Amino acid sequence: MSKALNIENITYFYPRSNEPALKDVSISIDYGEFVVIAGPSGGGKSTLCRIAAGLIPQLYGGKLVGKVFVDGIDISKVDARSLIDRVGVVLQNPENQIVNLVVEEELVFALENLMYERNDIETRVLEISNKLGIDYLRNRSTFELSGGETQKVVLGSVLVVKPRILILDEPLAHLDPPASQELLKLLYYLNKVEDKTIIIVEHRLSEILRYAPRLVVLDRTVVADGDPREVLKKLDNIDLVYGVEIPSTVKLSRFLNISEPTLSVEELVEKVKNRNLYIDNAIDNYNDVYRCFEKIIEVENLWYIYDNGVEALKEVYLDICRGEFIAIIGGNGSGKTTLIKHFNGLLKPTKGRVKVLGMDTVEHSVAELSRFIGIAFQNPLHHFFKDTVYEEVLFTAKIMGVKNAEERTSTIIEKLGLKHLANRSPYEISAGEQRRLAIASVLVYDPEIIVLDEPTAGIDFRHKLELLDILTDIWRKKKTIVLTTHDIEFLALTPVDKVIVLDKGRVVGVGNPKEVFYNLIPKDLETFVPQIVRFIKRVGLDRFSKVLNVEEFSKILKGSNYEWEEVF
């Protein structure tokens, strides 16, 4: 009896590499399984996907030892292109995988290549696009799509060939919470109803684990493989060692002494429904009275309309004070990046006014403003053009007229843990390191305000924690930090003063994070609420305490009387 995917003792070396990317890996996956493969960046997850797709070694070269069978076929003996009606593969960065300019062309593309007839193509495309709910996109051009739509179109273009097995490499990396949820539900449907085998490679586990009966942890070799509850019980510091995010619900279940790790908020609520949850004299360490000594960014009735008529920002009023740690949250296309581009004058308001340190951005050049406000954009690769990490940072230091530029560069590089990479090319280092490098070249000239656009996109949990340390450190030194994000579980760990919620270009909530997540956030943005908040609200503990993460929860409990006895 053949398996969906059968990997037997494979070891793989990339060309010109002495370190194996994968070492003695064996995984066997049955038809109809839903498997999550997690692990740190650089742990060989994407390599495994490419091997299963037949791209390695056919396209990449290198040395592959061991056997790989996909749907019973030995992939070393066939053309990767002959596998596509058996296994559908969606790699990272879906927007780079779109081949055509129009959605319909993209959906029919694979079928045309396999010489399907017109009628057959018509029925299949209609079926798949209805299932994915993308029929309305058919005549749209592919580069106008949102992140979620792009992901669905790519998935659709793979599904039309009707493969029994689906492999997705970090499909959630660039999706906002609503789009992630939707995609996961869709994959769950394909698994349960259509009996497709689903293999997802991902390190953001919070929302995904409830759907997956099996979790594999891969760090060049298989570290653990089995029921997610068992794996999480066995490896209780999987987040720190392997960079795999542990869902807050799992941490909470440990904290509440529930024997099994719980994988979703609903499950956790169910588990404690017989307990009497009570906290006495809980101390909530947030003061409602917030003092603003100096407004450092003032946004007044800001409107921004793009050339094509899209209203990206509408009626935005905003004050950011010196020394604040601000998070701007909102889905893809909510206007986050458009807003921060106004802070250093890259964009000028269509209507309204933006003032930075009292300077109207219309009257000052980007170069002038960027002395006071440093922005690191989402894609770190857009920043780099020098030969080494050191030169990259030094370049900014010099252009910004930093005194003792060399010395300052060395200090910053060391502080951000990049010293051992100083002479490496910025393109060779890992995604997490590239992110730190982009931040280093902002910090080096010591601007008053530091703005980071989606700083956690595409990096694993360990790197996120490193980033958190760096940010907290800068903030303690009285700098103002603004970050945009839709990584809510990361945000729940961050000591932010103020959260700004953007939705379709409007500010729909501003305030202390507790206020925002517990009270202000609109109902339709519920997926933007951290798991722990959802839990606390569901069980009514928010009467006593409004916490955002497990550490805070345990601190509050230490200073109070509490009980969670079982009541029957």
Partner 1 sequence: MNGKRFFEYLATSLLYESKETVFSRLSPATKLIYIVIVFAVAFLATNIVQLLYFLIINIGIVISCKVLRKKFFDMLKGLWLFIIFIILFNILVTYLLGDIDIASALLYQSYALTRIFIILPPILIFISTTTPLEIIQLFSKLGIKYYYLYPIVIAYRFIPIVFQEMKNVYDAQRSRGVELEKGDIREKIRKLSSVVVPTIVCSFIRAKDLSEALILRGFGYKDKRTFYRELKLSKIDAVFLCIIVLVHIVPLISWCILNSIT
Q: Shortest distance, CB of residue 549 to partner 1, whole angstroms? A: 31
Q: What is the spatial distance between Cα 299 and Cα 320, in angstroms, rounded to a whole number?
A: 9
Task: Check: CB of residue 523 under 8 Å from CB of residue 239.
Answer: no
| Contact mark string toward partner 1, 385..424, x via CB under 8 A | x----------x--xx------------------------
| Contact mark string toward partner 1, 32..61, x via CB under 8 A | ------------------x--x-x---x--
Q: Where are the alpha helices (DSSP H) in 79-176?
A: 103-113, 118-132, 147-159
- The residue from 73, 80, 422, 520 that contacts partner 1 (CB under 8 A) is 80
- The residue from 19, 117, 280, 288 that contacts partner 1 (CB under 8 A) is 117
Q: Shortest distance, CB of residue 383 to partner 1, whole angstroms? A: 5
Nearest Cα residue to 484 out of 331, 344, 353: 331
Beta strands in 266-414 (DSSP E): 275-279, 295-305, 311-321, 325-329, 351-356, 359-360, 373-376
Question: Which residue shows structure tokens 């062309």?
Answer: 105
- The residue from 140, 162, 314, 353 that contacts partner 1 (CB under 8 A) is 140
Residue number, 138 or 537, with CB nearest to partner 1: 138
Q: What is the DSSP letter of 76?
A: G
Backbone angles phi, psi at 141, to 5 degrees: -85, 150
| Contact mark string toward partner 1, 344..363, x via CB under 8 A | x-x-x-------------x-
Q: Shortest distance, CB of residue 103 to partner 1, whole angstroms? A: 9
Q: Applying CB under 8 A, which part among 188-196, 285-293, 380-388, 454-462 lies near partner 1?
A: 380-388
Task: Check: CB of residue 4 under 8 Å from CB of residue 22.
Answer: no
Q: Applying CB under 8 A, which part among 255-263, 438-446, 463-471, 474-482 lies near partner 1?
A: 438-446
**Strand pairing of 197-201 and 34-38?**
parallel
Backbone angles phi, psi at 550, to 5 degrees: -65, -35
Q: Which pair of tokens denotes residue 560? A: 């109070």
Q: Shortest distance, CB of residue 316 to partner 1, whole angstroms? A: 19
Residue number, 162 or 271, with CB nearest to partner 1: 162
- The residue from 4, 84, 299, 532 that contacts partner 1 (CB under 8 A) is 84
Give 526-531 contacts, CB < 8 A, sequence gap 24+: 527/177, 527/178, 527/180, 527/181, 528/177, 528/329, 528/330, 528/331, 528/486, 528/488, 528/501, 529/488, 530/248, 530/488, 530/489, 530/491, 530/492, 531/206, 531/247, 531/248, 531/249, 531/252, 531/265, 531/489
Using DSSP's 3-state secondary structure scheme, residue 256 falls into coil
Residue number, 223 or 449, with CB nearest to partner 1: 449
Q: Shortest distance, CB of residue 314 to partner 1, whole angstroms? A: 20
Contact set for partner 1, span 288-327 (CB under 8 A): 307
Residue number, 390 or 528, with CB nearest to partner 1: 390
- The residue from 8, 63, 101, 301 that contacts partner 1 (CB under 8 A) is 101
Residue number, 338 or 494, with CB nearest to partner 1: 338
- The residue from 10, 52, 91, 244 that contacts partner 1 (CB under 8 A) is 91
Residue number, 451 or 532, with CB nearest to partner 1: 451
Q: Applying CB under 8 A, which part among 112-120, 209-217, 285-293, 530-538 lies near partner 1?
A: 112-120
Site for partner 1 contains 123 (CB under 8 A)? no
Q: Which pair of tokens denotes residue 25? A: 């890996």
Task: Return the sign of the alpha-carbon dihedral for residues 337, 342, 348, 350.
Answer: positive
Contact set for partner 1, span 179-238 (CB under 8 A): none
Q: Shortest distance, CB of residue 562 to partner 1, whole angstroms? A: 48
Q: Which residues share a beta bridge with 27?
A: 7
Mention every residue, 6+ apart, whose C-beta is less than 8 A from residue 370: 344, 447
Contact set for partner 1, span 158-177 (CB under 8 A): 158, 161
Q: Shortest distance, CB of residue 367 to partner 1, whole angstroms? A: 5
Distance of CA 136 to the CA centre of its chain: 27
